[in-house]
Amino acid sequence: MNILITGGLGFIGSHTAVALTEAGYKPIIIDNLNNSDIKVLDKIAEIIAFKPVFYQGDCLDKILMLRIFDEQKIDGVIHFAAYKAVGESVQLPLKYYQNNIQSLCILLEVMQEKGVNNLVFSSSCTVYGQPTSLPVDENAPSLPANSPYGNTKQICEEILRDFSAVNPFKTIALRYFNPIGAHPSSLIGELPLGIPNNLVPFITQTMVKIREKLLVFGDDYPTPDGTCIRDYIHVCDLAEAHVAALFYLQKHENTSLFDTFNIGTGNGNSVLEIIKTLEEIANQKIDYQVVSRRSGDITAVYAATEKASKILHWNAKRTLKQALTDAYNWQKTAPSPKGE
Ligand code: UFG
């Protein structure tokens, strides 16, 4: 089975290409290289022992998208390609609305024209905002998004719900919690552009002296140690959730389907716990300073995982320590950050 992975050279896309291959699928990748590196293709090839078919281009390019579906027999699509920087989306909302929403609409038009009806979509726990009860399950109401980025995820889910309601089309939206880690080979991992926005790559870059020190955004939250709590999931577990979702879509008898699943571990860890665990792994002190809260951050979120376990037969298998060890090992050999 051939699976088109949009954004397949990115952090989650590249690990998913590997997981799909291990499960017997054939990945076909499209990526515009805006926030990824062509060298990742060779690294994927090193892991899976062949080079996936690759198209360099943009999902907004409908002519290219149609050509891919003509040239390859596509059986399903996993759509990662999107902009994802929360802060940038506040500054440049149109960039996010145009790219993230328009590319999904074009993809749906192309899939409809070409009769391909299985789609796994990258959504985010950002759709929940600060949930009123934890762990948060899929029935919790979507709260108004606190960034244009978050809003694009909510809007895309609505588009998929509406589209699947009137077409023979099956979609699963996976609501990711906080992906971290890297492939245990250290051949692929996270390559943030410029200064990382996210906690774990910022810490690992501090550990290898690319950054001077970590700023911890607030220790006055109503949590046990005062820092925010998130559900950190190993990217390889997350990648395997896409395989489980595709498998479910393919065997599902109804011709139309839209469903959402949390993809997390079910555990919440604070910023200070992440720092401490990495200090233990590397036997090294991490230089950090507590500063004021970052605007838009929620206090705590972690996933209820029963639905994915029961319906997709998927559970996160790797520990936090494993994920942080793989993130640190990757950082030690990772290429220098681009875009500074
Ligand atoms: N943090 C720091 N210092 C840093 C970076 C982060 O203290 O330099 C803290 C944040 O304040 C937060 C925690 O570490 O408390 C996690 O922050 P991340 O930026 O790593 O992750 P977020 O939970 O803020 O964001 C992630 C994804 C978003 C997604 C969101 C959904 O990066 O794309 O989860 O909740 F929208």
Residues of the chain with pLDDT under 70: 340
User: What is the pLDDT, as a whole number, of residue 159?
Assistant: 98
Q: Terminus-to-terminus CA distance in the chain, angstroms?
A: 40
Which one of 130, 157, 198 would you pick to mutate in the ligand 1 pocket, going by the greatest count of ligand atoms within 8 A of its CB?
Answer: 198
Ligand 1 nearest atom to the CA of residue 301, by list position: 35
Ligand 1 nearest atom to the CA of residue 147, by list position: 36
User: What is the pLDDT, as a whole number, of residue 296?
Assistant: 87
Domains of the chain: 2-333 (3.40.50.720)
pTM score, two decimals? 0.97
293 alpha carbon – ligand 1 mean position (Å): 11
74-128 residue pLDDT tens: 999 999 999 999 989 999 999 999 999 999 999 999 999 999 999 999 999 999 9
Q: How many CB atoms lie within 10 A of CB 251?
A: 7
Q: Is 104 in the pocket of ligand 1 (CB under 6 A)?
A: no
Q: Is 84 in the pocket of ligand 1 (CB under 6 A)?
A: yes
Spatial neighbors of 246 by CB under 8 A, at least 6 apart, are 3, 20, 25, 76, 78, 118, 120
Q: Is 302 in the pocket of ligand 1 (CB under 6 A)?
A: no
Alpha-carbon span 110 to 74, nearest angstrom: 11
Q: Is 178 in the pocket of ligand 1 (CB under 6 A)?
A: yes
163-176 residue pLDDT tens: 999 999 999 999 99
User: What is the pLDDT, as a whole number, of residue 254?
Assistant: 83
Q: Which residue's C-alpha comes closest to atom 1 of ligand 1?
A: 199
Q: Which residue's C-alpha comes closest to atom 20 of ligand 1?
A: 198
Ligand 1 nearest atom to the CA of residue 202, by list position: 8
Are 324 and 200 spatial neighbours (Cβ–Cβ below 8 Å)? yes
Alpha-carbon span 6 to 214, nearest angstrom: 33
Alpha-carbon span 17 to 9, nearest angstrom: 9
User: What is the pLDDT, as a whole number, of residue 121?
Assistant: 98
- Please compute, for residue 131, the number of CA atoms within 13 A of its CA located in the half-sphere on the CB side: 20
Ligand 1 nearest atom to the CA of residue 124, by list position: 31
Q: How many CB atoms lie within 10 A of CB 127?
A: 22
Query: Active site includes 328?
Result: no
Q: Which residue's C-alpha comes closest to atom 7 of ligand 1?
A: 216
User: What is the pLDDT, as a whole number, of residue 253?
Assistant: 80
